[in-house]
Amino acid sequence: MKAHSIPVLMALIAIPVAAASATFAADDVDLRTLRDEVARLRDTYEKRIDALEQRLVRAEAKAASTESVAANAAAPPQPTAMAGTNAFNPGISLILSGLYSNLSKDPAGYRITGFHLPSSPLADITPQRGFSLAESELGISANVDQLFYGAINFSIHPDDTVSTEEAFVQTTTLPQGLTLKAGRYFSGIGYLNEQHAHTWDFVDAPLAYQAFLGGQFNNDGVQLRWLAPSDSFLEIGAELGRGANYPGTNRNKNGSGASAIFARLGGDIGASNSWLAGLSLLSTSPQDRQWDDINAGGATVTNSFTGSSKLWIADGVWKWAPNGNANQTNFKLQGEYLRRSEDGNVIYNGASTGSYAARQSGWYVQGIYQFAPYWRVGLRSERLDSGTVDYGSNNANLLRPDYAPARNALMLDFNPSEFSRIRLQFAQDKSFQGLTDNQIFLQYQMSLGAHGAHKY
Amino acid sequence: MAPTLISFAAPIGSVASLGAALRKAVMLNRSIMLLLAMAFGVFALPSFAALNILACEPEWGALAQELGGDKVSIYNATNAFQDPHHVQAKPSLLTKARNADLVVCTGAQLEIGWLPILQQQAGNPKIQAGQPGCFEAAQFVHMQEVPSSVDRSLGDVHPGGNPHIQTDPRNIGLVAAALAQRLAEVDQANAAYYQGNYKAFAERWKAAILNWEKQAAPLKGMNIVVHHKAFVYLENWLGLREVATIEPKPGVEPTGAHLSEVLAQLQRQPAKAVIRAAYSDGRGSEWLAERAKIPAVMLPFTVGGSERAKDLFGLFDDTVQKLLSALK
């Protein structure tokens, strides 16, 4: 602008001047006066232009230097456009999962030798050969109001049945570290029990979870948790509930059929390490809990247990990531020890009733190492101890195998984003006495919709 | 290390009370009494003198320190070498969330993977979304790259816009004003103190910005390659021109093919430097920088991200200096 303005102004001035000089060409004096006048005018204009230009430069400099201050002063609040009736729609998330299994042994008649699983959880944990849809999950959650949060999780099984894994409401505003939950939820016992299947590090639940909890224990009831105000992590929780699921049974009775208590400690060691350790107790009182068994004579019989069942779980997790940055590499070591004692009566094949006392245990330990972005490798080793089982007067009828079911698994997974995972798993399963099942699994797990926030 | 050792004393002491609590719980087994007893607080609560602040990222911790002085006690949930997108709701954070009077976070879904868990499990009504104790910095600045529609195929995009607002010091200034107000609201007894600190900070900050802008004048129009789309606010402030990103999509790790493409692009459209945050993996940047014969610059990105970035002033001193040295 500066470069052009002077010639333009000069031209504008020059036109009337030229016209004037033509009219009065004859008069030298006039001409001289006119020239002086023009020179004076030009001089004035140039001075004015110079002054203006200088002012402009100063103004530009000032504007530039105050730009940030102006930006600071004018706080632009975000105009957030809310979409009418949809604005309160809850968060929806969907888990899609599929599985290919190659088993060296026929899974028909699968058992965990020495452990009495009812037919329903047994069918759920029995692997299938070939292609199958794994568990799909639909989750819906939102804050209810200023006091409550609510969530539901449907599990859609490969055989087209749907079950409600979780459906609970939870307080958000109880003071002093308290949280109360009511409805159906995965019990807070152990480390893995609360975690949904799609966050597991292996295709299947550990053998001990399968043997003692039918895979995973959910309960209809109430749960209270308390987080201590201490500097390091201490959480205590208690639950009362229906206890309809294994190791409990459905009952026609007022009051609670299952109670649980758990306590956890945890913390950090430097920036790179964190840990969590817990102890829990699940007490249930199953009534007429039936299972199919092979008797001493080799015949198939159906027995039932009524009494009390207590399951202790000790769990520990340690996670490492350099400087706490898990993006490149990280490591997780996790282990749990489960011990169950059951006392009561067993009715042998609908006929003779005898006392029953069993002390059984199991453990697993697993390590997961992310060796490069997206890629993780994991190893899990596990073993059950069928322990001591006393059928009282039925000891002659029922077998008490001295066998320790065991399984080892190796997995490799590829996680192209937070939302997708493809996993290859090899396992050698010796949970059924006399059989070694070599298993190969190929699995995908994808999540879409609302961004899940996962527990530690 | 010392604080870690001290904090270990607490769990040992609480193991005894834990054992007692467990025994008690077993005795009251199947009784509603247990729930009631716990609900009404069997345990005494220690009182805290200072206002407890949980800062999701170190820049907000540093800002809260500037404004809060000795009236606040601050814990940073993440450090400069952690990607705030990917943090876990680990036990230590739950404890800090439980005891916090105020959480100061970026918002715009930067902490979506872990903050909601802290809010749900900490049992602390003060820090729930919408409460004065939940401060989201992104609400107080002009957000950039707000997508008109979102789809996960586009990578890690945030519906609320690019969340890395702290790379423009003018945003820090805006957030400071809002945070000072919030501190005064949460801790009314010290309202005047916070306002006083804010006034002093705002003066110093304004002067510092002018100084950085003067120093950074040669950076105007500088072409840069960035690792992650984490620098839009910095680019906007200093007039840098982002010509390429090392991540093919936000949050997606660089691939060899994409890096080669970027390298080819740089032949046509040269850049002066490859920029990354302290927490990003340097291999992609280094690979590209070596071949394009330009410097790879690791910016502190937040307080603690470099030796010089000890506080917010050091953060931008160092950011501007590192960029200038790349120009030479």
Nearest Cα neighbor of A305 from A240, A242, A391 is: A391
The residue of B117, B124, B145 whose CB has the most chain A CBs within 10 angstroms, and thus the best one to mutate to test that interface, is B124
Give the closest-approach CA distance of A150 to chain B in angstroms: 11
Residue B322: how many CB atoms within 10 A of its CB? Answer: 19
Report the share of chain A in percent with pLDDT over 70.
87
Kindly tell me if the per-residue pLDDT of A16 is higher than 80. no
Q: Pull the structure tokens for residue A112.
A: 């965990």
Confidence (pLDDT) at B36? 44
Asked whether the predicted pLDDT for residue B25 surpasses 50, the reply is no
ipTM over 0.90: no
User: Which residues of A are less than 8 Å from B174 in CB distance?
Assistant: 72, 75
CB contact under 8 Å between B206 and A276, yes or no, is: no
Nearest CA in chain B to A260: B29
Answer yes or no: are the C-beta atoms of A447 and A93 closer than 8 Å.
yes
The SS3 call for residue B239 is coil
Q: Nearest-CA residue of chain B relative to A269? A: B4
Strands (E), chain B: 51-55, 72-76, 102-105, 134-136, 223-226, 241-245, 273-277, 296-299
Three-state DSSP class for B45?
coil
Averaged pLDDT for residues B166-173: 97
Are B14 and A234 within 8 A, CB to CB? Answer: yes
Which residues does chain A have within 8 Å of residue B117's beta carbon, measured at their own beta carbons? Answer: 453-455
Q: pLDDT (tens digit, 9 = 90+) per residue, B196-229?
A: 999 999 999 999 999 999 999 999 999 999 999 9
Distance between CA atoms of residues B104 and B76, nearest Å = 9
Interface test with A, best of B15, B47, B76, B120 (most A CBs within 10 A): B120
For residue B89, the 8-state DSSP code is B
Q: How close is the nearest chain B Cα to the Cα of A40, in Å?
A: 41
Q: Which of A176, A261, A274 sits opposite B123 (nearest CB)?
A: A176
Residue B296 has pLDDT above 50, yes or no: yes
Neighboring chain A residues of B58 at a CB cutoff of 8 Å? none
* Interface contact B122-A281, CB threshold 8 A: no
Reported confidence tier of residue A36, pLDDT bands at 50, 70, 90: confident
Report the residue of B73, B90, B302 to disrupt the A interface, i.e. the one with the largest count of A CBs within 10 Å.
B90
Shortest distance, CA B224 to any CA of chain A (angstroms): 22
pTM summary value? 0.82
Q: Which residue out of B29, B127, B157, B237 would a mutagenesis test of the A interface target, given it has the greatest number of A Cβ atoms within 10 Å?
A: B29
| pLDDT over threshold 60, residue B178 | yes
Cis peptide before A77 (omega within 30 of 0): no
CB pairs under 8 A between A and B: 221
Which pLDDT does position A49 carry in this prediction? 74
Domains annotated on chain B, with CATH: 51-142+156-208 (3.40.50.1980), 216-327 (3.40.50.1980)
Q: In Å, what is the CA distance from B292 to each residue of A355, B135, B226, B287, B299?
A: 80, 42, 14, 9, 19
Average pLDDT over residues A155-182: 94
B302-317 pLDDT per residue, tens: 999 999 999 999 999 9
Average of pLDDT values for B71-100? Answer: 95
Question: Average of pLDDT values for A370-392?
Answer: 96
Digit-coded pLDDT (tens) for A293-317: 999 999 999 999 999 999 999 999 9
- Write out pLDDT tens, residues A93-148: 999 999 999 999 999 989 999 999 999 899 989 999 999 999 899 999 999 998 99
Question: Which chain B residues have a beta carbon less than 8 Å from that of A269?
Answer: 4
Q: Which residue of A has its CA nearest to B279?
A: A325
Tokens of A161: 């049945």
In angstroms, the separation between the Cα of residue A423 and the nearest Cα of chain B is 19
Q: Which among B30, B41, B124 has CB closest to A255?
A: B30
Which of the four pLDDT bands, split at 50, 70 and 90, describes residue A33?
Answer: confident
Q: In this complex, do A228 and B14 lie within 8 Å of one another by their Cβ atoms? A: yes
